[in-house]
């Protein structure tokens, strides 16, 4: 099949590359000329495990190509995937400017029947808006608009696409349904389901899924905070709760809050949708409030330890991306923690396996970026662990003590056992223990 993907962010590039991997001819379109040129030269613009090998193979075998020319990019397309940014506005609602702008352009250049697929995470009713925008200049017999939300987790996005737990497709057109079913069939050979539903239900499914997962995280962070007060251990509570099959083990790890490109934006957007429809979605509002507070819990622990005076003190930071195995720092807890520490007059030395270039763009010389995790410990007053990269799980504690001014660790991801850290003679604070 001939496919066009408009937008080459995490979703667009993974989508295009994985569709090419099953034999389709894929053209990726982006307005960023420099980015497109780099991709043409074989450079993958994002860090995502497993993506580079597929990218290289499919560009070499000419199934995956890139252009800034929208008209040329859709010339042969049977399906056009819109994988465009939907950033949150000041009121939390998703900004559809990019999606509707491209739909307006497409309405003037499509010449034969094409399925237009909303791959971006969009509010309920967006498929109708895209349909109406296309219909301004285009006969309705020449297109169908489908909602096909992505459920990709950064860090394992390639596996998620190639072996999806489920595929959700929102369409009421038999013609579009047939095309989408044929397109996704190679990915569900083991029997995982393709769910067909109406467009609005598909749009709601994505928001509901992410908001529920965010709710689990915030709930467990509240439990962790209460555990500290009453003297319980959240690790034991998590295991006990997670063994209930009705609840499940995942997304029960306490920490410094959720971040990334999906959860914060999607929860805000769903809450905004509720407000626009005069519904008070109290749980979602609480989830967001808890997450905002949780981002600062490490700073509060640090201030408490140093008697609220950290001006001139130096802190090591391990982990800058919002989660391991990605370079994405959008809404990353580390960003908020660094900002708070800087505002209190502290100095920062930081290390992350992949995200330092992005942090440098954000903070510049305000944050000293280090070549490895141990350099980030030289002469620091304390270490804060923010992201649970595997490389941080089994460090040399003897080397750490030699490098640090004092053996003090604030662990936002509960990487180490409490008794072990006591035996190592570290002052060690974590979350909920």
Question: Among all residues, which ones are annotated catalytic?
Answer: 262
Within 10 Å of residue 118's Cβ, how many Cβ atoms?
28
> Residue 384, SS3?
strand
Give the residue from 269, 260, 264 showing the smallest Cα distance to 287. 264
CA-CA distance, 317 to 319, in Å (whole number)? 6
CA-CA distance, 44 to 151, in Å (whole number)? 21
CA angle 288, 291, 296 (to 5 degrees): 140
Burial call 212-229: b when 16+ CB within 10 Å, e when fewer:
ebbbbbbbbbbbbbebbe
CA-CA distance, 222 to 424, in Å (whole number)? 29
Ramachandran quadrant class, 147 (left: phi over 0; alpha: psi -120 to 50; beta: rest): beta
Answer whether 45's CB lies under 8 Å from 39's CB. yes
The CA-atom distances, in angstroms, between 132 and each of 177, 327, 357 are 20, 37, 41
CA-CA distance, 16 to 270, in Å (whole number)? 27
Residue for token pair 């697929």: 117
Answer whether 155's CB lies under 8 Å from 324's CB. yes
Answer whether 82's CB lies under 8 Å from 99's CB. yes
> Residue 202, SS3?
helix
CA-CA distance, 149 to 121, in Å (whole number)? 6
CA-CA distance, 78 to 427, in Å (whole number)? 61
- String of DSSP letters for 53-86: HHHHHHHHTTSEEEES-HHHHTTT-SEEEE----
Q: Are strands 194-197 and 79-82 parallel, antiparallel or unpaired?
A: unpaired
Structure tokens at 135: 């219909």
Answer whether 115's CB lies under 8 Å from 182's CB. no
Sign of CA dihedral 304, 305, 306, 311: negative
């Amino acid at each position: 099949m001939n496919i066009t993907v408009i937008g080459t962010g995490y979703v667009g590039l993974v989508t295009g590359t994985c569709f090419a991997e099953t034999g389709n001819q894929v053209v990726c379109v982006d307005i960023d000329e420099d980015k497109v040129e780099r991709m043409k030269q074989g450079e993958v613009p994002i860090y995502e495990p497993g993506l580079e090998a597929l990218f290289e193979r499919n560009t070499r075998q000419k199934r995956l190509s890139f252009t800034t020319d929208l008209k040329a990019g859709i010339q042969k397309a049977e399906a056009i995937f819109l994988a465009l940014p939907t950033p949150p506005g000041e009121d939390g609602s998703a900004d559809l400017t990019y999606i509707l702008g491209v739909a307006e352009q497409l309405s003037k250049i499509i010449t034969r029947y094409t399925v237009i697929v909303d791959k971006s995470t969009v509010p309920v009713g967006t498929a109708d808006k895209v349909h109406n925008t296309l219909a301004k200049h285009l006969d309705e017999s020449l297109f169908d608009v489908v909602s096909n939300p992505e459920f990709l987790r950064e860090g394992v996005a390639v596996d998620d696409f190639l072996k999806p737990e489920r595929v959700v497709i929102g369409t009421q057109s038999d013609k579009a349904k047939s095309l989408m079913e044929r397109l996704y069939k190679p990915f569900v050979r083991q029997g995982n389901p393709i769910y067909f539903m109406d467009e609005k239900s598909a749009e709601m499914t994505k928001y509901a899924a992410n908001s529920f997962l965010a709710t689990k995280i915030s709930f467990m962070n509240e439990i962790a905070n209460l555990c500290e007060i009453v003297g319980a251990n959240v690790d034991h509570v998590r295991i006990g709760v997670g063994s209930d099959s009705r609840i499940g083990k995942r997304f029960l790890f306490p920490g410094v809050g959720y971040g990334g490109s999906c959860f914060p934006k999607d929860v805000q957007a769903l809450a905004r949708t509720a407000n626009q429809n005069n519904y008070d979605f109290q749980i979602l509002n609480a989830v967001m409030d808890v997450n905002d507070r949780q981002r600062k819990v490490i700073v509060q622990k640090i201030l408490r330890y140093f008697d609220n005076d950290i001006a001139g003190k130096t802190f090591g930071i391990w982990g800058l991306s919002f989660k391991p195995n990605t370079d994405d720092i959008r809404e990353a807890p580390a960003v908020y923690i660094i900002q708070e520490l800087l505002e209190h007059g502290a100095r920062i030395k930081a290390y992350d396996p992949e995200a330092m270039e992005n942090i440098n763009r954000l903070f510049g010389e305000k944050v000293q970026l280090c070549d490895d995790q141990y350099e980030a410990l030289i002469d620091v007053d304390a270490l804060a662990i923010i992201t649970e990269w595997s490389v941080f799980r089994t460090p040399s504690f003897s080397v750490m003590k030699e490098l640090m001014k004092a053996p003090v660790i604030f662990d936002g991801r509960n990487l180490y056992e409490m008794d072990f850290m006591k035996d190592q003679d570290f002052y060690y604070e974590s979350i909920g223990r």
